[in-house]
């Protein structure tokens, strides 16, 4: 069984991935973490890495090829990434949605704590986090449309969609587990 979690920044991909991995006893992978490490190794933020991707597919290709190979050579894992559903077509594809203002608040609070990602910029407020998230989303939509001709947020690409805005992460994980095909 492969579970591919997708969702915008602040939807809870990492938290849900970790809960599912623990509950189901599966390995887990994070494409956001992988891209974040790429950005840090270049001395830039994730958004600066994404900006490079508008003109050069190389900033996405490494992660995209990693996902493709993972889906072809391994089984029994959970992966979170905006395009994991696309690169691992045999996965159970989950879309996590969230109110953008709540997502911005989550990201702002996480970045201000030890939970925050070092590849994220420092945010002065949740409003600034929202503005940067909106810019990140526009960049990502443009990159994926340009390089792959796909729509990032089309719910038809997913087997299960859940709004994480007002649901505790443990309940989101339980709902995903309940939605898994019974022969998994």
Q: Is 2-179 a CATH 3.40.50.300 domain?
A: yes
Residue pLDDT, tens place only, 106-141: 888 876 655 555 666 677 788 988 998 898 888 888
Name all contacts of 70-73 with Cβ < 8 Å and 24+ positions apart: 70/29, 71/2
In terms of pLDDT, which residue wins out, 89 or 128? 89
Q: What are the structural domain ranges in the chain?
A: 2-179
How many angstroms separate the CA atoms of 151 and 118, rounded? 28
What residues contact 160, with CB distance under 8 A and at least 6 apart?
92, 93, 94, 95, 176, 179
pLDDT of residue 116: 53
What is the pTM (predicted TM-score) of this model? 0.88
What residues contact 184, with CB distance under 8 A and at least 6 apart?
1, 92
pLDDT of residue 77: 97
Query: Per-residue confidence at 8, pLDDT binned at 50, 70, 90?
Result: confident
Asked if the model's pLDDT at residue 142 lies above 70, the reply is yes
Query: Per-residue confidence at 20, pLDDT binned at 50, 70, 90?
Result: very high
pLDDT of residue 129: 84
Query: What is the average pLDDT across 141-157?
Result: 88
- Measured CA distances, 144 to 46, 48, 182 (Å): 16, 16, 32
Residue pLDDT, tens place only, 151-172: 877 889 999 999 999 999 999 9
Query: What is the average pLDDT across 1-8?
Result: 95
pLDDT of residue 12: 92
pLDDT of residue 27: 97
How many angstroms separate the CA atoms of 72 and 89, rounded? 10
pLDDT of residue 17: 96
Residue pLDDT, tens place only, 39-87: 889 888 888 888 888 888 888 898 999 999 999 999 999 999 999 999 9
SS3 content of the chain, % helix, strand, coil (to 5): 55, 15, 35
User: Any idea what the Cα angle at residue 163 is, between residues 158 and 164, rounded to 5°?
Assistant: 120
Query: What is the average pLDDT across 27-43?
Result: 90
Left (φ > 0), alpha (ψ -120 to 50) or beta: where does 116 sit? Answer: beta
Closest CA relative to residue 98, chosen from 172, 166, 158: 166
Beta bridge partners of 30: 80
């Amino acid at each position: 069984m492969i579970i591919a979690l997708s969702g915008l920044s602040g939807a809870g991909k990492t938290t849900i991935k970790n809960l599912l991995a623990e509950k189901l006893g599966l390995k887990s992978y994070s494409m956001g973490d992988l891209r974040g490490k790429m950005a840090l190794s270049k001395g830039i933020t994730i958004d600066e890495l994404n900006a490079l991707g508008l003109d050069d597919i190389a900033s996405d290709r490494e992660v995209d090829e990693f996902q493709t190979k993972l889906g072809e050579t391994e089984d029994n894992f959970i992966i979170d990434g905006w395009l994991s559903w696309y690169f691992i077509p045999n996965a159970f594809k989950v879309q996590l949605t969230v109110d953008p203002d709540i997502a911005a608040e989550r990201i702002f609070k996480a970045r201000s704590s030890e939970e925050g990602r070092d590849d994220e910029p420092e945010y002065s407020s949740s409003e600034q986090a929202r503005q940067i998230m909106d810019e990140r989303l526009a960049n990502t939509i443009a990159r994926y449309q340009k390089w792959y001709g796909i729509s990032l947020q089309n719910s038809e690409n997913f087997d299960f969609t859940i709004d994480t805005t007002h649901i505790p992460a443990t309940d989101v994980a339980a709902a995903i587990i309940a939605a898994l095909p019974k022969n998994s």
